[in-house]
Each structure stands twice: as C-alpha cells, then as structure tokens.
Chains A and B, each alone.
Chain A
Amino acid sequence: MGDFKLTTVEEFEAATNRLLETGAKVGADAWQLRVKNQTPHCKFGEQGICCRICSMGPCRITPKAPRGICGCDAHGIVGRNYLKFTAGGAATHSDHGREICHTLYHAAADGAYKVKDPDKLIRIAKEWGVETEGKDIYDLAHEVAEMALMEYGKPFGYQRWLKRAPQHTQDLWEKAEIAPRAIDREVACSLHMTHMGCSSKPEALVRQSLRAGLCDGWGGSMCGTEFSDVLFGTPKPIDTEANLGVMNADNVNIVVHGHDPSLSEMVCEYADDPEMIAYAKSVGAKGITVSGVCCTSNEVAMRRGIPMAGNFLQQENVVLTGACEAIVVDVQCIFPALGPLSKCFHTKFITTSPVAQMPDSDYIRFDVGTAAEKAKQIVKMAIDNFQNRKPELVYIPDMKQKATVGYSVEAIVKTLDGVTNSQVDELGTTKPLIECITSGVIRGAVAMVGCNNPKIRPDYAHIELMKKLLANDIIVVASGCSAQAAAKAGLMDKSAKDLCGAGLKRVCELADIPPVLHMGSCVDISRMMILVSELAKDSGLNISQLPVVGCAPEWMSEKAVSIGNYVVSTGIDTFLGVDPYVSGSDQMGYWLTEGVRDWVEAAYTVETDIEKLVDKMIDRIEEKRAAIGI
C-alpha cells in the first residue's frame, strides 16, 4: 500500500495546460486549438451520409434528397463509408505486419535483425506444418517469413492463423462467409465493393467489413505480433514507468513514436551503446533517455521496459516539454502537426518511412539493410541537437507512475501456472483464470483498447471505466493508447490492487500482477484473440459464452474500426464510446448492433454516455454469467 496514489485526469490536464503556455509563447499550434477551429463538424459527415466516391457527387442525403445521383440511399452510403473505413484500418495493420515479415525474411545471424525467440519460431513453423528438424534457424525464419508473406496474396484458401480459433468459431466464419482469404484481397475486395455502382446493400457491406476486419486481426495483425516476438523476443513481465515525467531534463531525450518495432528496437539498441552514451556525455548531457509515444512505445515497453512518455493526444506535449532532442517516427497516428511544432523548438522531427512522409521533417529513410547505420545516425543526430536546446523553454511535468507490463499470452499462461497446485492442476493452460471466473471471484474480463479522441475528455473514459470495472472484480486487459492511459494513471502499478474489489484484489495478490494487464500495441490485440480462444478451448465454452467484452471508449482511427470488426467477429461483444459515423442509417445501425449477432454471436453497443457505457458492459458480463449458470 504505502503512499500509492493514482494520477488523475485533472492532473494530466493541468500539466498539459502548463505545456500549452510554453506553446503559446513560441507560437505553436496545438490539437486543442485545431479542434476548436473544426467545431462544429459537418453533420453529413458525422452521420456517414456524405458520399464522394465518384465525380457525379459529392452527394449528401437530406429529407429532400433521399438518394444520391446514382440512386444510392443513405443505407448504402453509410455502409460503403463504413466498409472503406474498415479497409483503411485493415490495410494499415496488415502493411505493418508485412514489414515485420519482410524484416524476418532478412534476419541473419550476423545482421542487425536476429531471431531472438527461436522457440516461438519453431512453434509457429510446426503449427504451419513446416519441417523444423535439423534446419538452421535462419533458414527456417526465411521459409516461415515467405509463407507469411504469401498470406497477403495467396490465390486460394483462408488465413492460416484461423486454425487457432475454436472449431465452433471457424464454423461460424465459414457459414457466414466471412472467413478471410488473402489479406490484400480482402482490402482490395472491400474497395471494389465500395466503388460506384457496386454494393449498396447494407448486409453485404457489413459482411465484407467483418471479413476485412478478420483479415487484419487473424491475418495482418497476428503476423505483426507473432513475428515481432520472434524477432525481438516474446514479452515477459517487466517494470517500467509512464507519463511525461519519464523524460529526463539532464539527458538527451529521444522519443520513438509510431508503430513498427523494427525502427524503435534499433534506436533503443544504439541509444544503449556505450559509445553513444559517451558521445552524449561529451556534449554535456548525462546520458540518453529513450521514451515512447503510442504503439511503438508499447512495443519497446513490453520487450525492453522503455518508459512510455504518453499516448496519442500527448504526442505534441512531448515536444512542448522543450527537452525533446528528436522525435523519431515511422508510420500511423503521427500528427503532421509535429512538423511545424518541432520548428518552434530545437526538436528534430525525423520521419523514416516512405509510407509516412511529412513536410517539415528530416527524412532518414529506414530499411532493413541499412537499419543499423540509420539508427546510429538518428541517435547521433539527436545527441548533436542537445546543445541547441533552449533552457528557458524546458519544462517536464514531474509526473510519472510505475507500471508492470509485458503480458503476452505466453506470460499470462506462465503467471497462471504460478497459482496452480502441482498435485491437482496441469501447467500451461488458462484454466486457473477460468476457475477464477466461473467461481465468481473475478466476474469477467474486459479488453480495453483504442485511441484518444478529442470528442471524449482525453483518457477520462479509459481510466474511469477501468476503475469501475476493477472495483467490480472485472479484470482488464489493455493495449494501445488505452493501456498507456492506464499506465499513466498508475493502474498498472501492482499497488493498484487496492482499488479492486475483494476478488480481483485477491487474484492480484496471489498471482502478483497489476489489475490492468498490458498486452501490448494495437496489432497485439491479436494476442487477446488468441487468449480468448484458449479460454474457450480450456473451458469447453464458445467464445461468445465467456463473460468477456471488448471496449474502445475513445476510439479514433480506421484501425480501431477494423479491430472492432474482428473482435465482434470473434464472438466478443464490443462497446464503443464514439459513434462510427453510422447514425445516418437505421439499417446499418441494426446490422451492427443486432444483425451480425446471427452470424458471429456478438455485436456492437454504441453508447456515448461514458458512465452508461461501463454499466452496460457490467450488465452484459452478468448476463453472460447467468446464461451459463455461474
């Protein structure tokens, strides 16, 4: 117990306001201002009834004009917009996964990228029917990587990873014709369907949305996660810290931001290099601090314990501290605003990916072959930049919390082994967790995921929902910016057990875990799919029968919609705190919140009242318990 105290959203906001003062001094723009400029938003866009997929439009639906020029009604327009949104998200995660597969393909014993978890590689190879006996681990890596890359464009068959799901789930997918084929095919097919004059039937558009989502969660994202583990190590529980206070005013601060660990791992590697540290000292710094923002932060926190400076809507704050020598980014969720913002400070805004090029940045193109030298170049550039710091602008809010992270499925199962009794239990299963749930000690589990969105008070929903869930003995697994919100607040400190109900508290004590388990980045939501599949198999229940729900209270990106679609498709009821631009069509509303239940035994609930959102989740969990008599 001791002096543990959560950091409140009010304290976050006070720190942000103080940083915005610095921003105002140097004439910096900020998302808070840009939101003001964009408000009120266009109602047609918000309701999803604006269509501009051909040059006859743009069309919008009003009572006077119930159809677009081609004759498409509101339902078709909303449905197509929804599917395009999904396809964007699926493409994004999947391309990330593809990069990882490529990196694995180029891994070499004497290269920058190595196979750090050969056991996991061998496990996957066996799962895929690859002969492993007597094979060099790198030959195996290249063979498996090539197979994985083929998953993106193979002409026949379904995704390999689907076999990990319980048979019942696989049957549902096949019956509903949503089992994903090649990853790129589903994305392309989605874009085909949404072309002018193709699909305008909501049912068909929703069906493809689910399939495109599944090609992400059980395809691209799963490739990203699994092969990141192979390359960089499968996460194990590790202690770290979170919030802006992890930046160190005396050190060279390098912030990694984005998603692909191929970049951030290399940067961390070189920031740890004694030669670099000595160089940093030579310019007057005491050392080098690497911290992270967004999912790439989650990746290096999970594997290396690199501290997390903040989540999505805190990315500008990192620069506003005036103590950031370099913010190194790759792809996804990077505000282009960082370019102009960094110009107000000494900060170097370094873009690295041809996929995400931005004005006002230093573009250091990063690729597998030159990763080592580029990483070194970046670290050096940051160090050289230390002396350009303007001391009068430096303010790092003194706030951080301890966090224990690194809960991969493998780590969770290992933790559960710790509470088994060798006289009665078998090792290596999720059964102890199932027993906690069936006995009622834990009422259920919620997967909290997703972004920040200025439409919701940033982090408020994540933190408040989690607190209420914990108090109700519901364990939370988190990923992405939701996980970082939890970490910043202190919910991943083991001391946070005292906020839990008696049941979850006891579990935290016996298993020695924090009440919110950090399962990783957004592609790592595939870990949650594997976990829930294991729970279903070990319990003999269908996934949809488990008292488990998903929640994205502050979601923002297309990726979040793709995630939502595969989570629902996997049989997990999903709760959204922000409307996915479907309110313009009651038919789309019906399909997403009810209709899909006939196919996948789960559906969406949209509730923008955050207090109600959490109560609805708790009610749903209790309903599921009652249905199976536990």
Chain B
Amino acid sequence: MTLFDRVFSGNDAVYGLTETAIDNAIAQYGADQAVAFPHTAYSLPCYYAVTGTKVSNLGELKEALGVVKTLMTREKRLNDAFMSGVATALCAEFIEVLKYINNETPYEEPCSGHLMDATIRELGVPLVTGDIPGVAVILGAAPTKEEAVELVKSYQAQGILVTLVGGVIDQCLEAGLNMGAAVRIIPLGRDVTSVIHVVSVAIRAALIFGNVTPGDAGNLMKYTFERVPAFVNAFAPLDDVIVACGAGAIALGFPVITNETENIFRVPKSLIVQEDVSRFNATSLEARDIKIKITKIDIPVSFASAFEGEIIRRG
C-alpha cells in the first residue's frame, strides 16, 4: 500500500468511528445536548481554528462532521494526504469532546486529557522565549520500559515539554517516573485520539500568540510550521490510524520519527525512520532544527528548567 493509501485508509477508519459515535450520542442525548471542552474559549479548538466555526451542541457537531468529510478528497497528492491528516485530527477532537458529555472527568490521574487555556498561556511564554525549546509528542509503547523512560528523561533534561499518548504512559508509570505539567511531562491519554489534546495546544498557541484568524487554515499551518517546535515520536507498530494522525502532524510542520520499518515510506525532514530508539532524541531535534544551548554542569542529579515546578515531598 502506498503511504497516501495508508493515510486515506486510517482517515476513513477514524471517520467511520466518529460518525457512529456522534450518531449514538445524538440517539442517547438528543441533538441539543451541549458539547464542550472545559476551560477553553475556543470551543473545539482545532475545528474552530481550521474552519472558524464554533460547535456548541451535538447537532452542530454532526454538521461539522459534514465539513470534515469535504476535506477527505482522495487525489493522489500530498495536499489530499495533508487534508486527510487534518480531517483525522478533527475527527479525533470530535471523539474526545464526546467523552466530556455529562462527565466532568473522563480522564483521571495521571492522564490529563484536554488541557485548559490557562495551561497553554502558562506554557506559551517559555515556548516563545525558547525556555521550552521544543514539544515532544510520544506515541505508543517503546520496545522496553527502560528505553521509554530514558527517552522521556532525555527530553526533560533538555527542557523540552513531553506529552505522552498510549503505552508509553504505563511504561513510565511502571518505572515510577514523576510526571505532570509541573515537570513538563504530560501524559494525555491511552487512546490514540487523545493526541489531539497536544495538537490543540499548538493550535491554540497559534490563535493566542500568533494572532491567526480562526478559519485561516493556511496561515495556521504556516504558523505551526514556523513557530511551534513540536515533533512526534511514534513507536512501532504503526497502524493506518496512526499514520493518518502522522500526516496531520506533518501538515502542521511537525516531523514524525518512528522505529517502524515495515510498510513505511521515508520522507526527508518529515517522516524519519530511526531504528535505534536511543537516538530518537538526537534525530528528532535535528529534524525539527531545535538547537539547545547547554552548559553542562557536572552534578549528581538532573538539572533543567523542567524541574523548576517539582514538588519535594517529605520522606
């Protein structure tokens, strides 16, 4: 299967799930049921940023899905693959927002799920100043939990904000890694769709700090491409859905680094196969052109701005 076919197929799969989920929700709650993420002024931030339209109830969500469908063109061109990636992300956002219906807390510690505007404003300034030199999105499970922790810690030591989706979260938990926004390691959720919560961060950054007009998808993608230093580390195996999500990430300008070697196509600076997980960090930073000025201080503990919010408990 070609790379584009995989993207399209992953997109179709997610679209199918989303359609069913929305239909079921309407059947259960009625079309007037309100849908919203907590603590955000941007409705469904991704959908709002791409289309300029806010969604407030299930009926509107269903309509929005119709708009998403129009992005799912199937020409064999990168634009179509990119738009399918975006469509996949928007579907993920729809699936995620349904989780918040009549349920204040679909996510429980340590997973954050949706991140509120305040968190983004808080992270925004250090992102702009370069104090946070990058955003890592780690997806799936590493070959071993040691490699997972090693990788996460390596980013943390560089001050990079790490977000986790899927198996890697449990790997870090098992290893007893201290996580949370304060130490710049944010587990999002175990479903692949929860990756949208970090996409939402990048997109709200464009709306808040980049002054991008909602609905101006071109400038939105330009802003994230040029200004949001994010990248994705996706562990094998990659199914079509993850490949489709990856297309969305690449559309926003975020390279994807993976250790998948089966049925994958390499794209310079965008989709990079790195079989050696211990070199994910160096590969990713180079791919996203992140240069970190490090003054190495020879001390027996880790040292980075990421530890500034750490809480030292008694005992």
Q: Are B265 and A419 closer than 8 Å at their CB atoms?
A: no
Q: Are B282 and A472 closer than 8 Å at their CB atoms?
A: no
Q: A583 at interface (Cβ–Cβ under 8 A)?
A: no
Q: Are B268 and A435 closer than 8 Å at their CB atoms?
A: yes
C-alpha spacing A473/B266, complex, angstroms: 17
C-alpha spacing A522/B248, complex, angstroms: 42
Q: Are A441 and B274 closer than 8 Å at their CB atoms?
A: no
Nearest residue (CB) in A for B78 is A503
Q: Are B2 and A629 closer than 8 Å at their CB atoms?
A: yes
By a CB distance below 8 angstroms, the chain A residues around B271 are 439
By a CB distance below 8 angstroms, the chain B residues around A472 are 77
Stretch at the interface among A376-384, A391-399, A421-429, A459-467: A421-429
C-alpha spacing A506/B78, complex, angstroms: 9
Checking B78, B81, B269 against A421 with a beta-carbon cut-off of 8 angstroms, the contacting residue is: B269
Q: Are A506 and B273 closer than 8 Å at their CB atoms?
A: no
A-B contacts at CB below 8 angstroms, number: 71
By a CB distance below 8 angstroms, the chain B residues around A424 are 272-274, 283
Checking B267, B282, B287 against A435 with a beta-carbon cut-off of 8 angstroms, the contacting residue is: B267
Q: Are A423 and B2 closer than 8 Å at their CB atoms?
A: no
C-alpha spacing A435/B268, complex, angstroms: 7
Q: Are A622 and B272 closer than 8 Å at their CB atoms?
A: no
Nearest residue (CB) in B for A440 is B4
Nearest residue (CB) in A for B4 is A440
Q: A211 at interface (Cβ–Cβ under 8 A)?
A: no
Which chain B residues in 232-276 approach chain A with CB under 8 Å?
265-274
Q: Are A423 and B265 closer than 8 Å at their CB atoms?
A: no
What are 28 A-to-B residue pairs whose CB atoms are below 8 Å? Answer: A419-B269, A421-B272, A421-B286, A421-B287, A423-B274, A423-B279, A423-B282, A423-B283, A424-B273, A424-B274, A425-B268, A435-B265, A438-B266, A439-B265, A439-B266, A439-B267, A440-B78, A440-B81, A441-B270, A473-B77, A501-B77, A502-B77, A502-B78, A502-B82, A503-B77, A503-B79, A629-B2, A630-B2
Q: Count of chain A residues with Cβ under 8 Å from any Cβ of B?
A: 26
Checking B4, B268, B273, B283 against A510 with a beta-carbon cut-off of 8 angstroms, the contacting residue is: B268
What's the nearest-Cβ distance from chain B to residue A533, in Å? Answer: 21
Nearest residue (CB) in A for B255 is A421
C-alpha spacing A192/B197, complex, angstroms: 76
What's the nearest-Cβ distance from chain A to residue B295, in Å? Answer: 23
Cβ proximity bits B166-188 to A, threshold 8 Å, 1 near / 0 not: 00000000000000000000000
C-alpha spacing A420/B77, complex, angstroms: 23
C-alpha spacing A439/B3, complex, angstroms: 6
Q: A458 at interface (Cβ–Cβ under 8 A)?
A: no
Q: A436 at interface (Cβ–Cβ under 8 A)?
A: yes
Nearest residue (CB) in B for A1 is B222
Q: A441-B78, A441-B267 are in contact. Are A422 and B3 (CB under 8 A)?
A: no
Q: B76 at interface (Cβ–Cβ under 8 A)?
A: yes
By a CB distance below 8 angstroms, the chain A residues around B2 are 440, 629-630
Please classify the interface of chain B as helix (H, G, I), strand (E, B), loop, or mixed, using the class held by over half of its residues.
mixed
Given contacts A435-B267, A438-B266, 12 further A-B contacts (CB under 8 A): A419-B269, A422-B286, A423-B283, A435-B265, A439-B266, A440-B2, A441-B267, A441-B270, A501-B77, A502-B77, A502-B78, A510-B269
Q: A494 at interface (Cβ–Cβ under 8 A)?
A: no
What's the nearest-Cβ distance from chain A to residue B314, in Å? Answer: 43
C-alpha spacing A23/B79, complex, angstroms: 48
Give the 5 A-B CB pairs with smallest separation, nearest first: A503-B78, A502-B79, A439-B265, A423-B283, A419-B268
Q: Are A436 and B81 closer than 8 Å at their CB atoms?
A: no
C-alpha spacing A622/B2, complex, angstroms: 13
By a CB distance below 8 angstroms, the chain A residues around B265 are 435, 438-440, 630
By a CB distance below 8 angstroms, the chain B residues around A622 are 76
C-alpha spacing A438/B271, complex, angstroms: 12
Which chain B residues in 60-96 approach chain A with CB under 8 Å?
76-79, 81-82
Which chain B residues in 1-48 approach chain A with CB under 8 Å?
2-4
C-alpha spacing A629/B2, complex, angstroms: 7
C-alpha spacing A438/B76, complex, angstroms: 12
Cβ proximity bits A478-518 to B, threshold 8 Å, 1 near / 0 not: 00000000000000000000000111001000100000000
C-alpha spacing A435/B264, complex, angstroms: 11
By a CB distance below 8 angstroms, the chain B residues around A425 are 268
By a CB distance below 8 angstroms, the chain A residues around B279 are 423
By a CB distance below 8 angstroms, the chain B residues around A441 are 78, 267, 270
Q: Are B283 and A421 closer than 8 Å at their CB atoms?
A: yes
Q: A432 at interface (Cβ–Cβ under 8 A)?
A: yes
By a CB distance below 8 angstroms, the chain B residues around A440 are 2-4, 76-78, 81, 265
Q: Are A443 and B76 closer than 8 Å at their CB atoms?
A: yes
By a CB distance below 8 angstroms, the chain A residues around B76 are 440, 443, 622
C-alpha spacing A435/B272, complex, angstroms: 10
C-alpha spacing A436/B287, complex, angstroms: 15
